[in-house]
DNA sequence: AATTCCTTGTTCAAAAAATCACATGGCTGA
DNA sequence: TCAGCCATGTGATTTTTTGAACAAGGAATT
């Protein structure tokens, strides 16, 4: 891949995800070409920002014309490393875990939950969305067999660290944590925290602020 | 509330949410007092950062001692405006919407889904988690009756804008959008987008990056 | 009451990110 | 083929955010 390996801001990655989303909707509506200016408006960002974000990874546009939508989507996906399927292990088959298993966009977006783990004896052995729920102690043996690369933690908060330990022990390469607690893992393993209440807090704050 | 009304960075709000999470876990473990230094380590941020974030809203600590955990939690919640219950309207009772309705942390965190809307005739009239699913056209009349303040969009992407229009029309004060598409609303209404695939992309990118 | 200790709140410098502004260079039409 | 057009890619500038350093000020101890 042709890219200048300067350090890439995390905010850029977040925006690239937005660009993909908007570009896919544009493509669906029949747009073949788009300028950074129009894309910028659709994403509520500055057009220079877009050009600069893309410039980290290469030159994808045509001067005087713009960007070919399909081509740009492909290029961004390549840049992010999501031009392939990532195999995931889910730990914690409660409310959140179940919802994730049922979320059919996963494959569409390049991720596949290939194994589900839970330490609850009542759940172990149950079939779920075509997958058998297994005790997390089996992670270490199953991870290499199934080529699991990303761990998804969806346990209660007090179990998250234990889940993380299992994942680390199984040589998983990255973790996304839906449990509302922080975890400690070796620093070469990237961790992302997901908690949509953050966004609700933000909304509440913005509303409150606007009031006074 | 005692606060210097400079502009408050969005990143600060995000971190405050993390502080609350960590502080509540600390409290559960019996910690009554904590220093910015220890809290910083638990949150993986800089301790000056924490003190500065808090300083936007007031002086909550005691020099030479630290912060009283329970008191700090309360203060942060007040600062964010989540020291009360926000009533929410859900539009879209599919996979995601159902998961949200079942998510019992809502009330614990200060939000309550008080009404559920969906335009699918097969769903309208169904009872769900003690709530009847109603056509979104009824939003405008129900919103003032039920005091609905925040709208939660969980429709397919191509229905998100229509849902947003209903919410705006019903004088909702803020919107959180789980659908993978952008929406346009009057600019006095704050919108937050939630898409956890953003985080999966980020993980994939970080793993890929670490490889070469 | 005075001193020591320790952590906060704040100032100031540095780093990073966003924005502006324009030169660059493909495409189109004459 | 050449001139004109127009949106990209990028260097310069501004703004924002982060981090380091320190003065201020409660609490504990003598």
* Cα distance between residue A98 and residue B182, in whole Å: 27
Contact map slice: B 126-155 vs A, CB within 8 A:
149-150
Nearest CA in chain B to A39: B182
Give CA–CA dist B145/B151, Å, rounded: 15
Residue nearest to nucleotide C27 (CA to C1'): A64
Q: pLDDT band for position B80 (50/70/90)?
A: very high
Query: In 3D, which of B130, B144, B136 has the Cα closest to residue B91?
Result: B136
Q: Quick one: how far is CA B63 from the chain centroid?
A: 32
Model pLDDT, residue A6:
75
pLDDT in tens, A45-63: 999 999 999 999 999 999 9
Contact B153, B91 (CB under 8 A): yes
Q: Write out pLDDT tens, residues B124-136.
A: 999 988 899 999 9
d(CA A18, CA B129): 33
| pLDDT greater than 80 at residue B166 | yes
Q: Are A123 and A133 in contact (CB under 8 A)?
A: yes
* pLDDT above 50 for A1: no
Q: Which residue of B has its CA nearest to A109?
A: B197
Q: Which of A86, A160, A202, A203 to mutate to test the interface with B (most CBs of B within 10 A)?
A: A203
pLDDT at residue A4, rounded to an integer = 53
Phi, psi (rounded to 5 degrees) for A132? -90, 135
Interface of A with B in 75-114 (CB under 8 A): 80-82, 86, 95-96, 98-99, 102-105, 109-111
Say what the pTM is. Answer: 0.94
- The predicted-structure confidence for A116-168, as pLDDT tens digits, reads as follows 999 999 999 999 888 999 999 999 999 999 999 999 999 999 999 999 999 99
Residue B143 to residue A131: CA distance in whole angstroms: 42
Query: For A163-203, how does the pLDDT look when each residue is reduced to its tens digit (9 = 90+)?
Result: 999 999 999 999 999 999 999 999 999 999 999 999 999 99
- Confidence band of A209 (pLDDT split at 50, 70, 90): confident
Q: Which pLDDT belongs to residue B212?
A: 58
Nucleotides of D under 7 A from a protein CB: 5-11, 16-21, 24-27
Strand C and chain B: which residues 39-78 have CB closer than 7 Å? Answer: 47-48, 51-52, 54-55, 59-67
């Amino acid at each position: 891949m042709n890219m200048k390996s300067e350090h890439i801001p995390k905010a850029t990655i977040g925006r690239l995800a937005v660009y993909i989303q908007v570009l896919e909707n544009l493509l669906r509506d029949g747009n073949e070409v788009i300028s950074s200016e129009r894309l910028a408006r659709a994403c509520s960002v500055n057009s220079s920002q877009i050009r600069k974000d893309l410039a980290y990874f290469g030159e994808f546009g045509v001067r005087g014309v713009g960007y070919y939508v399909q081509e740009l989507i492909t290029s961004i996906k390549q840049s992010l490393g999501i031009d392939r399927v990532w195999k995931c292990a889910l730990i914690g088959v409660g409310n959140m875990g179940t919802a994730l298993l049922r979320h059919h966009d996963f494959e569409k977006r390049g991720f596949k939950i290939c194994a589900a783990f839970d330490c609850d004896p009542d759940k172990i052995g149950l079939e779920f969305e075509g997958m058998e729920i297994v005790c997390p102690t089996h992670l270490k043996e199953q991870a290499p067999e199934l080529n699991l690369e990303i761990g998804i933690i969806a346990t209660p908060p007090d179990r998250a660290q234990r889940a993380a330990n299992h994942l680390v022990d199984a040589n998983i390469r990255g973790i996304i944590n839906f449990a509302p607690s922080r975890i400690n893992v070796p620093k070469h393993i990237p961790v992302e925290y997901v908690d949509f209440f953050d966004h609700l807090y933000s909304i509440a704050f913005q509303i409150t602020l606007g009031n006074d």
